[in-house]
Amino acid sequence: MLNEGELVLLWSPHKGDTYLLRLKRGAFQGTHMGTIPHDAVAEASYGGVVQTHKGQPFYVLRPTSGEFMRRLRRQTQIIYPKDAGLLLLYLDIFPGARVLECGTGSGSLTTLLAHFVGDGGRVYSYDRREDFSRLAQDNCERWGVAHRVTFRIGEVVDGFEERDVDALILDLPSPWEALDAAYAALAPGRRLAALVPTTNQLEQLLDGLSERNFVDIQVMETFLRTYKTNARRIRPEDMMIGHTGYLLVATSVRSRGVPEADATEREPL
Amino acid sequence: MLNEGELVLLWSPHKGDTYLLRLKRGAFQGTHMGTIPHDAVAEASYGGVVQTHKGQPFYVLRPTSGEFMRRLRRQTQIIYPKDAGLLLLYLDIFPGARVLECGTGSGSLTTLLAHFVGDGGRVYSYDRREDFSRLAQDNCERWGVAHRVTFRIGEVVDGFEERDVDALILDLPSPWEALDAAYAALAPGRRLAALVPTTNQLEQLLDGLSERNFVDIQVMETFLRTYKTNARRIRPEDMMIGHTGYLLVATSVRSRGVPEADATEREPL
Amino acid sequence: MLNEGELVLLWSPHKGDTYLLRLKRGAFQGTHMGTIPHDAVAEASYGGVVQTHKGQPFYVLRPTSGEFMRRLRRQTQIIYPKDAGLLLLYLDIFPGARVLECGTGSGSLTTLLAHFVGDGGRVYSYDRREDFSRLAQDNCERWGVAHRVTFRIGEVVDGFEERDVDALILDLPSPWEALDAAYAALAPGRRLAALVPTTNQLEQLLDGLSERNFVDIQVMETFLRTYKTNARRIRPEDMMIGHTGYLLVATSVRSRGVPEADATEREPL
Amino acid sequence: MLNEGELVLLWSPHKGDTYLLRLKRGAFQGTHMGTIPHDAVAEASYGGVVQTHKGQPFYVLRPTSGEFMRRLRRQTQIIYPKDAGLLLLYLDIFPGARVLECGTGSGSLTTLLAHFVGDGGRVYSYDRREDFSRLAQDNCERWGVAHRVTFRIGEVVDGFEERDVDALILDLPSPWEALDAAYAALAPGRRLAALVPTTNQLEQLLDGLSERNFVDIQVMETFLRTYKTNARRIRPEDMMIGHTGYLLVATSVRSRGVPEADATEREPL
């Protein structure tokens, strides 16, 4: 028996259609194959099956963070699991980490970061637009992690309030304009990431980094290719996503160039 | 000032060479460009810079989980960050999760899972070979997460001791032989993943799943393409990894087919 | 001034819409942006521009073989330029070559082969279905190369009439059933290619080849990624084709195994 | 029995090692597995097998244009079959075509173009360096197509001597500097292609095209993924080529913008 408020994924064996819902006593979920009472879902519990009023079966599954990301209510481009998963490792996100994100957008990455830092960690998420911030907050609440996030509204030029964060992500059109603010907020020896869709942005970003105290710069892109699952006809799907964006990771250091006897102290901004 | 026992990544601006070391008072790290005293590294602290006895600079960085995975001491094929990152999202790993892995191998995925489940979570890792298990334990200790892992030696045919785990990963040559044991251990509505290098294995695995209570089967592969970082000459690297393996994810359900009035209870094994 | 019967590609600067037409005095080409008289196209000639009756401009371009392949009238899966182009090189197609193809399908590869073997070469194209063969013939006529093709209707089990062809392509669901016929038709030391969409077919094909006199077996797949062309926003298109098929190339030899004193003569079928 | 002067590919079943040789009565081919007399190769003929003096077998195969390209004697970057094959279709190369190439480099594309235009076609190949031109000529002679090529030494700023060529390829570091010369040489409605390794070059090239009479601009890149050929273990090779270059194709028109009553005549340079 599932509790009120639980987030549930309904999966249909017919074409794999899915619905994501938060359980509410007495409510009904509409599908294109008929209506399903939430109470029946709660009773079936995870791994169980329910039927629409037309007799169509749906399985009751636990949603994953990856699925949630892809199904987010959105007003902006979102980050895809293929990119987000890699960032977790390259930025060294960990339970307990303090992570800064700018901008919030629809909150797909915000949700994921809050998911992985756990209750002992914290995500600080900046955006200049209040409507995006509110949407992201809704999405984080839906996934049950909003209490781990501090949403802030502000312009990059004003800098970030936090210091010594464990990781920092720039997901905005002109990340090079945020490099000084990012450097001031990031703990030395820690990673900064940025996502940009075009090589022109990548060029400006690389130029910006080359003039500042960042080393070990890595640029990459990822591809995800899905396959059909008929064991007698194994083959990739006809279409795939051809581009989401270029990922850049760099590491903050106290200074660059050969060290001198006295001047290795970190100069904020 | 860094503490004894801290894990540190030394990064050279000359070609990006790196060394991973655990700080030990009075010890020395050899590099192909000269020797570095651990005490100097501790004093430089993260983001600082040290020099070899030949005057070559190395930056003191925080290692990431992704780098650690790639640099693991290994006796087996390891899982790559591009695949592991995606698995975290598709399996819904979270801080506090109980995750079962079979087989342990060199422990690259073990380390990563233990990293992300945090101190409130637990990883149960099975392998039939004690030498692999010991190597994996060493690697987990090096990353500081061995206390979150239960290492078990055993054959798949004997099944797993755990029940209702939140996620389960099969990383062995014949994952189809472990499906009954996996089903018994996995909580209903939760995800099973498997990694196989060949399409022949994929075929056998898909056949095995089709006869059991698993739904929402997804098969995929990932690619990671890295770029050179000269802003005036932006281009991908000449070579890339062309294949690591096929990733399969499936979800356990209590039964398949149209539900009947009475028989929706989960039958272990 | 272009001649009656010339094949022309009309290209619109508005979204790059294109129309392929064969010039016919007095005829009109409908577009979703208005009607264009063929006579105006003939007068504008290649590189010129015409306008629809609504004043929308279209450029008069020479169609390429690649575009023609993609725009073919079709009743079957067609082969894509990315695969066909590679096959030309791996099969060593050349002006004057005699090439055998089985099956014809909609004739996309037939057209291309006939294009590249020139008037001195010949394509023999087999299909069991007369309607496909007729469609392919229409397509070849449209491209102006039908006179270089011999279309044949027949079953693979009956073998091919030709001997000592310079290259041979199997584009049918069970290419392994055609291997004996292919071997008999192909000149020794020359290449056989096959295209299959699934790895299961690839497995059967590799098994079939391993029992026959073929060496230097190569299996590959190709990807084509297209980019947006805005110089200020260089980036790949969002979507790409994820799969067309696996390409296999093998070379026919007189016998396999260490040669013996007498038995190196080629045994047809 | 093969003739003196024939080009032959020797292929070893041991790891697929290959040697390319031109038959010469009385000559010997050294391999790392022993020596092979050319006369034995001539006698074995295509599809036959010869042995080294150590008893190692080699099959006598017909080399393909694709293999020849990859095995060219080179002093420069060469174009790969995966890119060259696509260009044949996108540029609409055909037997009898007149094609202009700048620069010649080691002649890999020169050879291929000369291969496909046949005896009725012609390739005009420009390079500023005489040593490259000589090397390319050697390679074309080796493949037996040098009589179809006019090699020219010169600077791009001096323009090209030819007019109304059917296709034109720029394979030089600054293709944007050759656009006026290319436009003057190319027949209207026909295709220009360029290959550049970096996105910075791509940006400059797109800028150059936007100011001139070119339409239908397409930018793409190709990937080739090879597979192991063991039917019981079907899987891609571990490594693949991650980048060769960006391919751009554009079409020359008489003028751009809405046509005016009088000014549609093509202005050379």
Residue A134 token pair: 């509110």
In A106-238 the beta strands, taken as DSSP E runs, fall at 122-127, 149-153, 165-170, 186-196, 214-227
The pLDDT, as a whole number, for residue D71 is 85
Distance from CA of D87 to the nearest CA of A (A): 21
Tell whether A161 is within 8 A of chain D (Cβ): no
Chains in contact with C, where contact requires at least 3 CB pairs less than 8 Å apart: A, B, D
User: Is the predicted pLDDT of residue D15 greater than 90, yes or no?
Assistant: no
**Confidence category of residue D170, pLDDT binned at 50, 70, 90:** very high
Tell whether C236 is within 8 A of chain A (Cβ): yes
User: Is the predicted pLDDT of residue A204 greater than 80, yes or no?
Assistant: yes
pLDDT 10s digits, A47-85: 999 999 999 999 999 999 999 998 888 888 889 999 999
Among chain D residues, the shortest Cα distance to B241 is held by D239
pLDDT 10s digits, B4-46: 999 999 999 988 999 999 999 999 999 999 999 999 999 999 9
Tell whether A230 is within 8 A of chain B (Cβ): yes
Residue A197 with chain C: CB contacts under 8 Å? 233, 235
Distance from CA of B236 to the nearest CA of C (A): 13
Average pLDDT, chain B: 94
Q: Which of C78, C222, C235 to mutate to test the interface with A (most CBs of A within 10 A)?
A: C235
The pLDDT, as a whole number, for residue B230 is 97
Closest to A139 in 3D by CA, of A168, A173, A115: A115
The pLDDT, as a whole number, for residue A264 is 39
Distance from CA of A239 to the nearest CA of D (A): 16
Distance from CA of A17 to the nearest CA of C (A): 21
The pLDDT, as a whole number, for residue B257 is 66
Cβ distance A118 to B120 less than 8 Å, yes or no, reads yes
Cβ distance B200 to D240 less than 8 Å, yes or no, reads no
User: Which residue's structure tokens are 């979204």?
Assistant: C15
Average pLDDT, chain C: 94
User: Is the predicted pLDDT of residue C267 greater than 70, yes or no?
Assistant: no
- The span from the CA of B31 to the CA of B26, in Å, is 16
Tell whether B242 is within 8 A of chain A (Cβ): no
Tell whether A229 is within 8 A of chain B (Cβ): yes
Tell whether A240 is within 8 A of chain C (Cβ): yes
Query: Which residues touch B166 (CB under 8 Å, ≥6 apart)?
Result: B92, B93, B94, B97, B98, B99, B187, B190
pLDDT 10s digits, C161-172: 999 999 999 999
Cβ distance A65 to B92 less than 8 Å, yes or no, reads yes
Neighbours of B55 (CB within 10 A): 9
Residue D237 with chain B: CB contacts under 8 Å? 242-243
CA dihedral A229, A235, A241, A247 (to 10 degrees): 90
Tell whether B207 is within 8 A of chain C (Cβ): no
The mean per-residue pLDDT over the stretch D60-67 comes to 96
Tell whether C200 is within 8 A of chain B (Cβ): yes
Residue C199 with chain B: CB contacts under 8 Å? 199, 202-203
Cβ distance B200 to D232 less than 8 Å, yes or no, reads yes
Tell whether D15 is within 8 A of chain B (Cβ): no
**Confidence category of residue A268, pLDDT binned at 50, 70, 90:** very low
Tell whether B55 is within 8 A of chain D (Cβ): no
pLDDT 10s digits, B43-67: 999 999 999 999 999 999 999 999 9
- The span from the CA of B207 to the CA of B176, in Å, is 8
User: Is the predicted pLDDT of residue B264 greater than 70, yes or no?
Assistant: no
Cβ distance A206 to B234 less than 8 Å, yes or no, reads yes
Cβ distance A238 to C233 less than 8 Å, yes or no, reads no
Q: In this structure, which amino acid lies at residue D146?
A: A
Cβ distance B234 to D197 less than 8 Å, yes or no, reads no
The pLDDT, as a whole number, for residue A260 is 45
Q: Which of A18, A227, A228 to mutate to test the interface with B (most CBs of B within 10 A)?
A: A227
User: Is the predicted pLDDT of residue D20 greater than 50, yes or no?
Assistant: yes
- The span from the CA of D249 to the CA of C16, in Å, is 14
Chains in contact with B, where contact requires at least 3 CB pairs less than 8 Å apart: A, C, D
Selecting from C199, C226, C242 the residue whose C-beta is nearest the C-beta of A240 gives C242
Under 8 Å CB pairs connecting chains A and C tally to 56
- The span from the CA of B227 to the CA of A245, in Å, is 13
Residue C187 with chain D: CB contacts under 8 Å? 46-47
- Read off the DSSP letter of residue A41: H
Tell whether A199 is within 8 A of chain D (Cβ): yes
Q: In this structure, which amino acid lies at residue D68?
A: F
pLDDT 10s digits, B188-208: 999 999 999 999 999 999 999
Closest to B154 in 3D by CA, of B127, B191, B125: B127
The pLDDT, as a whole number, for residue D257 is 66
User: Is the predicted pLDDT of residue D266 greater than 70, yes or no?
Assistant: no
Q: Which of A243, A244, A246 to mutate to test the interface with C (most CBs of C within 10 A)?
A: A243
C89 φ/ψ angles, rounded to the nearest 5 degrees: -80, -40
pLDDT 10s digits, A252-265: 999 986 544 433 33
Closest to A25 in 3D by CA, of A39, A35, A36: A39
Tell whether B3 is within 8 A of chain C (Cβ): no
User: Which residue's structure tokens are 């290259």?
Assistant: C167
Domains annotated on chain D, with CATH: 7-61 (3.10.330.20), 66-252 (3.40.50.150)
Tell whether C231 is within 8 A of chain D (Cβ): yes
The pLDDT, as a whole number, for residue C263 is 37
pLDDT 10s digits, B107-122: 999 999 999 999 999 9
User: Is the predicted pLDDT of residue C265 greater than 70, yes or no?
Assistant: no
Query: Which residues touch D137 (CB under 8 Å, ≥6 apart)?
Result: D107, D146, D149, D151
User: Is the predicted pLDDT of residue C260 greater than 80, yes or no?
Assistant: no
Cβ distance C242 to A243 less than 8 Å, yes or no, reads no
User: Is the predicted pLDDT of residue A269 greater than 50, yes or no?
Assistant: no
The pLDDT, as a whole number, for residue C210 is 95
The pLDDT, as a whole number, for residue B262 is 39
D233 in Cβ contact with B198 (< 8 Å): yes
- The span from the CA of A21 to the CA of A9, in Å, is 7
Tell whether D240 is within 8 A of chain B (Cβ): yes
Tell whether B131 is within 8 A of chain D (Cβ): no
The pLDDT, as a whole number, for residue D73 is 85
User: Is the predicted pLDDT of residue C269 greater than 80, yes or no?
Assistant: no
- The span from the CA of A181 to the CA of B126, in Å, is 46
% of chain B with per-residue pLDDT over 90: 88
Residue B200 with chain C: CB contacts under 8 Å? 203
Q: Is D3 exposed, middle or buried (0-12, 13-18, 19+ CB in 10 A)?
A: exposed
- For helices A199-210 and D199-210, what crossing angle results, to 10°? 130
Distance from CA of D133 to the nearest CA of C (A): 23
Residue C202 with chain B: CB contacts under 8 Å? 199
Residue C196 with chain A: CB contacts under 8 Å? none
Determine which of B91-100, C207-216, D9-18, D258-267 has the lowest per-residue pLDDT on average. Answer: D258-267
pLDDT 10s digits, C102-140: 999 999 999 999 999 999 999 999 999 999 999 999 999
Tell whether B206 is within 8 A of chain A (Cβ): yes
3-class SS letters over chain D: CCCCCCEEEEECCCCCCEEEEECCCCCEEEECCEEEEHHHHHHHCCCCEEECCCCCEEEEECCCHHHHHHCCCCCCCCCCHHHHHHHHHHCCCCCCCEEEEECCCCCHHHHHHHHHHCCCCEEEEEECCHHHHHHHHHHHHHHCCHHHEEEEECCHHHCCCCCCEEEEEECCCCHHHHHHHHHHHEEEEEEEEEEECCHHHHHHHHHHHHCCCEEEEEEEEEEEEEECCCCCCCCECCEEECCCCEEEEEEECCCCCCCCCCCCCCCCC
Among chain D residues, the shortest Cα distance to C237 is held by D220
**DSSP strand pairing (D246-252 vs D186-196):** antiparallel
Which SS3 state, helix, strand or coil, does residue A62 take? coil
Chains in contact with D, where contact requires at least 3 CB pairs less than 8 Å apart: A, B, C
% of chain D with per-residue pLDDT over 90: 88
Indicate the pTM of the whole model. Answer: 0.94
The pLDDT, as a whole number, for residue D203 is 98
User: Is the predicted pLDDT of residue A25 greater than 80, yes or no?
Assistant: yes
B162 in Cβ contact with B186 (< 8 Å): no
Distance from CA of B141 to the nearest CA of A (A): 16
pLDDT 10s digits, B229-260: 999 999 999 999 999 999 999 999 999 865 44
Cβ distance C222 to D225 less than 8 Å, yes or no, reads yes
Give the DSSP letter string of chain C. Answer: -PPTT-EEEEE-TTTT-EEEEE--TT-EEEETTEEEEHHHHHHH-TT-EEE-TT--EEEEEPPPHHHHHHT---SS----HHHHHHHHHHTT--TT-EEEEE--TTSHHHHHHHHHH-TT-EEEEEES-HHHHHHHHHHHHHHT-GGGEEEEE--GGG--S--SEEEEEE-SS-GGGGHHHHHHHEEEEEEEEEEESSHHHHHHHHHHHHTTTEEEEEEEEEEEEEE---TTS--B-SEEE----EEEEEEE-S--SS--SS--S----
Residue A197 with chain D: CB contacts under 8 Å? none
The pLDDT, as a whole number, for residue D77 is 85
